[in-house]
Amino acid sequence: MTGTAVVVGAGVGGLATAIGLRRAGWQVSIRERRAELERYGTAFALTPAAQDALDRLGVGAAVRRRAVPYRSAQIRTPDGRVLAGLPLERLEKKAGKPELLISRPYLIDLLLAELATLGGAGVVEFGANVTDAAALQAGYDLVVGADGLRSAVRAACFSASAGPTKVGSVAWIGIADFETDRHGETWGKGRFFGLTPVEPGHTNWYAAVPEGTTAADLPGLFADWHDPIPHILTKTDPAGWLCYEMRHLHPALPTFVTAGKVALVGDAAHAMTPNLGQGACTALLDAEALTRALAHHGPGALPAALHTYDRERRRSAQRTAFASRTLHRIVTTDHTRLRNTAARLLPGRPDGISYR
Ligand SMILES: Cc1cc2nc3c(=O)[nH]c(=O)nc-3n(C[C@H](O)[C@H](O)[C@H](O)COP(=O)(O)OP(=O)(O)OC[C@H]3O[C@@H](n4cnc5c(N)ncnc54)[C@H](O)[C@@H]3O)c2cc1C
């Protein structure tokens, strides 16, 4: 079926949804409150399933040309000892392709470029802050809320009680202009530090710390942690760091669709803490599943297509969000000895290796 659609929000979820809708023959307009697309953000992980979704949206090959593979990562203690290895090789073997990492600006640019090739150039209306999302229903066959953590579409058309809930941490994030082979996460007491590849010559980093921690506090909090963590925090310019709020949506929504014509995708539907690196992946999976369901259902079957989407994505996305929140609790616990003992039981620890 085809028709007219308005997508609220031009993040990963909104742009991917617009691409899928254009491919299925829909007329689409996107309302984005920002005056232009923000050119910031660090690395996104793309699981094999998210890559498959990108392939079906027609963007997979372009993404693979810019992304880097993520093949080796360990969990460490602050003094550099390895507690466990992430099972990236095993996952790659199973899926037949590696997990990838790509910077947010690249991914946004690639999605915008694909939209332009589908005749969708100019469909993004910038500076269009949607305040009355319920009123959009009168003007379009379909309304998609892809407007993130504080979704106006969710607030207007879905449960008023669901909203962003603090988890007690913020993440300072940045990109350092050197490479390291010490990828993975280092878990301390109430805080952790992550290092991943992002593009040749650079390293993506994030420091999850208690709320209220300023950029000026960071070097002191990690001064005696293993290299290259202190180096990153003392030698890179804090003007390039970003503070990213860590929140999740609570309570979970009973449905991602309503009124036979409104759907939520991405953070609007199931904002999660970034611990599993699934924010962008789940938004892409939502966008692809929603637009595939719309393409497969015949004329007049919009409510049925939305129901199919909800059935395919809601439980899965909410399970991922719950697992991410649980991992956040484990990683930031004060009971580090118990946590580290459990982590050592995970497969993949190269015994005896110390990186200090
Ligand atoms: C600028 C930015 C940088 C980010 N950087 C990172 C990062 O480095 N690492 C990471 O893991 N995650 C980052 N995220 C979050 C990550 O992009 C999302 O968790 C994930 O990609 C899901 O995307 P989404 O499209 O559902 O939501 P989002 O990416 O949050 O996109 C929502 C979009 O909707 C727009 N919007 C919101 N309300 C309205 C409204 N009322 N009317 C019109 N438009 C509206 C927003 O401006 C935004 O463009 C970032 C998000 C943003 C917006």
Kindly list the averaged pLDDT for each block of 10 residues, start to end, along the chain of length 356: 92 97 95 85 90 97 95 95 92 95 93 90 90 94 97 93 92 93 95 94 94 96 97 92 92 96 98 94 98 88 97 98 94 91 72 35
Q: Is residue 313 part of a domain?
A: no
Q: Is residue 284 part of a domain?
A: no
* Pocket mutation for ligand 1, best pick of 32, 42, 147, 253 (most atoms within 8 Å of C-beta): 147
Residue 84 CA to ligand 1 centre (angstroms)? 32
Query: What is the secondary structure of 66-98 as a DSSP string?
Result: H-EEE---EEE-TTSBEEEE--HHHHHHHHTS-
What's the Cα-to-Cα distance from 198 to each of 70, 138, 142, rounded to whole Å?
9, 43, 36
Domain count, the chain: 1
Q: Which of 338, 89, 96, 70 is nearest to 185 (CA)?
A: 70
Question: Which residues contact ligand 1 via a Cβ below 6 A?
Answer: 8-14, 31-34, 38, 40-42, 104, 128-130, 146-148, 152, 173, 244, 266-268, 274, 279-280, 283
pLDDT at res. 254: 96
pLDDT at res. 42: 80
Q: Is residue 263 part of a domain?
A: no
Q: Is residue 355 part of a domain?
A: no
What's the Cα-to-Cα distance from 340 to each of 76, 196, 200, rounded to whole Å?
9, 21, 32
Q: Is residue 139 part of a domain?
A: no
Residue 284 CA to ligand 1 centre (angstroms)? 13
Q: Is residue 221 part of a domain?
A: yes
With vertex at residue 331, the alpha carbon angle to CA 276 and CA 320, rounded to the nearest 5 degrees, is: 25
Range of 172's domain?
166-246+333-344
Q: Is residue 109 part of a domain?
A: no
pLDDT at res. 356: 28
pLDDT at res. 126: 94
In this structure, which residue's CA is closest to atom 50 in ligand 1?
41
pLDDT at res. 113: 93
Q: Is residue 185 part of a domain?
A: yes
Q: In this structure, what CATH number is given to the domain that contains residue 338?
A: 3.30.9.30
Examine residue 69 and say whether the peptide bond preceding it is cis (omega within 30 degrees of 0).
Answer: no
In the beta sheet, which residues pair with residue 165?
248
pLDDT at res. 344: 87
Q: For the whole model, what pTM was predicted?
A: 0.94
